[in-house]
Structure 1
Amino acid sequence: MSYEIATLRGDGIGPEIIDQSVKALDAALRIFPNVQMNFTYLDGGADYYARTGQVAPDNTWKEMAAADAILFGSMGHPEIRMPDGTEVQGHFIVKARKTLDLYAGIRPIKSYPGARGVDPNAEVDLVLVRESTEGLFASFGGGAQIGDDVFADMMIVTRKGTDRVSRYALELARTRRGRPSDGTQLVTCVDKANIFRSLAFFRQVFDEVATEYPDISTDHALVDSFSMLMMQHPERYDVLVTENMFGDILSDLAAALVGGLGLAPSGDIGEDHAMFQPAHGSAPDIAGQDRANPVATIVSARMMLEWLAARHDDDNLRKAADLIERSVIATMAEGQRTVDLDGDLTCSQFGDAVAATITRLGAEL
């Protein structure tokens, strides 16, 4: 079977890390020749905006909508701004999420060999599910302004949006091994329901949906105290579900548990479309130096294979996704790591090492 992948290399380190993820995908798919992927490279990003005055051309949006999946590198540059002072990448990503209805932001946080987090001995294997079309981000590009003194943005929470993201989190928990501490399949609703009516409603809808999943344990947490508890006891958590802005902040914070954003993949998933990208930014300070850590992007590509496999019931893609994951773990366990993890490999050398491991492990299948 053949899949069309809309591919945006982006800005800064984006081209470097995307190239390594494609390298890993190519190596895995050589093991499973019944699967093909066609990568269509598209324009868009801060550099493109600086040249043209557009975040992305019309063709990019059309190709993204028509593709089987979207693979996206990092985007943006702090010195390239829109007229309202905001950065370019937000306009691209938020438009993509809203246009393609990518309502579930999936942020896995998992320990990899040789990566030192806040507590090197902590057991970390959790997934944050972020509602990605509503919440405080619903005001993006809008909001209210009165003169030069008053600016306001509004948080939007709907029953439909909360129902479907809660359902996604509960379904996801059914597929996982549970929290590291005791194997309990648990979904934690993280909110601020004690203060905001919108988030009390978020909790209410979550609880209503949870009654349909008696096999999954659930609990609640207030985002402020939870931020501390997650860092102290990550082994207590399995799947987290939360509002858009809270999810944005918590997912970056949680990456510190496993060694940083270079190890944090993500997927923006809807009913008909999905976009996969590293959780980190474009790091323009090291762009072009072959120093970036491509793990997050390679693992995001693995998430893409898993999503496509489920959508098309393609067992070869499931096997390819598993092979990439095992190869990243094996490569890092052998001490082959990038400089940010106290290794000595460049970005491209790490990509080569993972591709070689894929070929080696694939030959044993």
Structure 2
Amino acid sequence: MAVIKGDGIGVDVTDATLAIVDAAKNKVGGFSLDYQFIQAGAAYYQQTGQDIEEGGEQVAGEADAIFLGAIGLPSVRYPDGTEISPHLRLRDRFQLYAGVRPVRAFPNGPKRLSDTRANDIDMVILRESTEGLFYTAAVHNRCPVESDHEVQDVMSITRDTTEKLHDFAFKLAEKRKHRGKKGVVTCVDKANVFKSMAFFRKIFDERHANYSHTEVNYNYVDAQALDFIRRPWDFDVLVTENIFGDILSDLAGGLVGGMGMAACGEIGDNHGLFQPAHGSAPDIMGQDKANPLAAILSGALMLDYLADKSANTQLADAALLIESAVYDCFSDNTIRPMEFGGDMGTKAVTDTLLERISR
């Protein structure tokens, strides 16, 4: 397993995550983990002029999974002024097309909606991560027109990637239904306006034929944003294009506590990268103030991915143990992160979870 701690609180939350993952491994047994640490990020770039150590990408590619803390520092940029982002290159190199963003309400956690049904929010936003408007513009810089009078960006949707994305969504829904969730897939697009989105929905319908027992819904992206405020508890798995998923996952995350709870997996055919969705927050690095839960829940996602990859159910048991420990500690109010106005920093949250897992 490759580990990139990165910058800022990435170091703090990665250390917390590895401690929790190791505790779950020791409790469940039946598997081992070998960590290969890779230096990368803005601080490393500032020191060496490279954003990842020599051979680092190859080491990451040879690992069964990649865990990333956070990358970026406000004062450190590439010569063109853009942020240091080797993780985006890893996403492109390994074609990590399925951005998995779980959104779950925890007892006694922050609630932005007064309706008691908001306690039942439990969904996954599946964001395509290697094409679409966001990626083709920001990473591949595909601008057909660029002048001082007009700039255009490209929305690129390909059949091969979209077929794999929709298959991933249907399989994820099946897996969640087996675990007692709704097992319903909602296609989120703007097919009434954009040809690319009509193509996205067309492929969704084609792939659904292979999973005809799975219930499906459709929503335009603007209506979906409204429904995240009106009735977010009704959704289970939502599959969407890159920039739509970027916006909707932040909105949905805000309903259940914000980025401090936002776990993330980036999964392709042969590789998986897992990271908290929040930034590096260098202003609180090393001050024992960071909420490690987004990273810890990303670690659980990683174990679940490794379980599927290896067919080792004990890895899945370890993932469930971590998720259950977080849920139970919120339920009995023994976790109170500073981010949410509580009195517990990184170490206290981690120690509380370690104690719960040991029991």
TM-score of the two chains, using structure 2 as the length reference? 0.93
Q: CA deviation at 1:154?
A: 1.1
The equivalent residue for 2:215 is 217
Say if 1:125 and 1:179, in contact at 8 Å, map to a contact too. no
1:129-173 C-alpha deviation (Å, 9 max, x unpaired): 111111111231422364555443211101111111011001111
**Structure 1 residues 11-20 or 152-161, which shifts more?**
152-161
Alignment partner of 1:8 is 2:7: no
Alignment partner of 1:79 is 2:75: yes
In the alignment, residue 76 of structure 1 is paired with which amino acid?
G
In the alignment, residue 109 of structure 1 is paired with which amino acid?
V
Alignment partner of 1:28 is 2:24: yes
Distance 1:78 1:245 in 2: 23
Distance 2:28 2:221 in 1: 44
The equivalent residue for 2:62 is 66
The equivalent residue for 2:161 is 161
User: Among 323, 326, 330, which residue is 1:325 paired with?
Assistant: 323
The equivalent residue for 1:259 is 257
In the alignment, residue 207 of structure 1 is paired with which amino acid?
D
The equivalent residue for 1:338 is 337
Say if 1:179 and 1:238, in contact at 8 Å, map to a contact too. no
Distance 1:196 1:146 in 2: 21
In the alignment, residue 16 of structure 2 is paired with which amino acid?
Q
Alignment partner of 1:129 is 2:132: no
**Structure 1 residues 346-355 or 141-150, which shifts more?**
141-150
Counterparts in 2 of 1:33 and 1:210: CA distance versus 1, 3 Å: closer
Q: CA deviation at 1:197?
A: 0.8
Say if 1:102 and 1:133, in contact at 8 Å, map to a contact too. yes
Q: CA deviation at 1:184?
A: 4.3
Distance 1:10 1:116 in 2: 28
Counterparts in 2 of 1:38 and 1:179: CA distance versus 1, 3 Å: closer
Q: CA deviation at 1:255?
A: 0.3
Instruction: Tell me the secondary structure at the aligned position of residue 55 of structure 1.
Output: coil
Counterparts in 2 of 1:277 and 1:201: CA distance versus 1, 3 Å: same
**Structure 1 residues 55-64 or 165-174, which shifts more?**
55-64
Distance 1:293 1:84 in 2: 32
Say if 1:178 and 1:186, in contact at 8 Å, map to a contact too. no
The equivalent residue for 2:109 is 115
Structure 1's unaligned 5+ residue stretches are 361-365
The equivalent residue for 2:51 is 55
1:103-142 C-alpha deviation (Å, 9 max, x unpaired): 1000000011221121152120010011111111123142
Say if 1:306 and 1:321, in contact at 8 Å, map to a contact too. yes
Instruction: Tell me the secondary structure at the aligned position of residue 33 of structure 2.
Output: strand
Instruction: Tell me the secondary structure at the aligned position of residue 255 of structure 2.
Output: coil
Counterparts in 2 of 1:178 and 1:231: CA distance versus 1, 3 Å: farther
User: Among 38, 42, 53, which residue is 1:42 paired with?
Assistant: 38
Distance 1:171 1:290 in 2: 39
* Count of aligned positions: 352
Distance 1:178 1:263 in 2: 24
Percentage identity across paired residues of the two chains = 41
Distance 1:291 1:82 in 2: 29
Distance 1:331 1:146 in 2: 52
The equivalent residue for 1:363 is none
Alignment of 1:176-195 (within 5 A): 176-177=176-177, 184-195=182-193
Alignment partner of 1:99 is 2:93: yes
Counterparts in 2 of 1:303 and 1:160: CA distance versus 1, 3 Å: same
Alignment of 1:236-247 (within 5 A): 236-247=234-245
Give the RMSD, CA atoms, in angstroms: 1.8
Q: CA deviation at 1:341?
A: 2.3
Counterparts in 2 of 1:178 and 1:249: CA distance versus 1, 3 Å: farther
Say if 2:266 and 2:273, in contact at 8 Å, map to a contact too. yes
Say if 1:178 and 1:184, in contact at 8 Å, map to a contact too. no
Q: CA deviation at 1:268?
A: 0.4
Q: CA deviation at 1:274?
A: 0.3
Instruction: Tell me the secondary structure at the aligned position of residue 34 of structure 2.
Output: strand
Alignment of 1:182-331 (within 5 A): 184-331=182-329
Distance 1:337 1:77 in 2: 28
Instruction: Tell me the secondary structure at the aligned position of residue 9 of structure 1.
Output: strand
The equivalent residue for 1:350 is 349
Say if 2:29 and 2:314, in contact at 8 Å, map to a contact too. no
Q: CA deviation at 1:34?
A: 3.3
Q: CA deviation at 1:95?
A: 1.1
Distance 2:100 2:220 in 1: 20
Instruction: Tell me the secondary structure at the aligned position of residue 223 of structure 2.
Output: helix
Say if 2:127 and 2:241, in contact at 8 Å, map to a contact too. yes
Say if 1:46 and 1:88, in contact at 8 Å, map to a contact too. yes
Distance 1:35 1:47 in 2: 34
TM-score of the two chains, using structure 1 as the length reference? 0.92
Distance 1:189 1:48 in 2: 40
Distance 1:142 1:52 in 2: 26
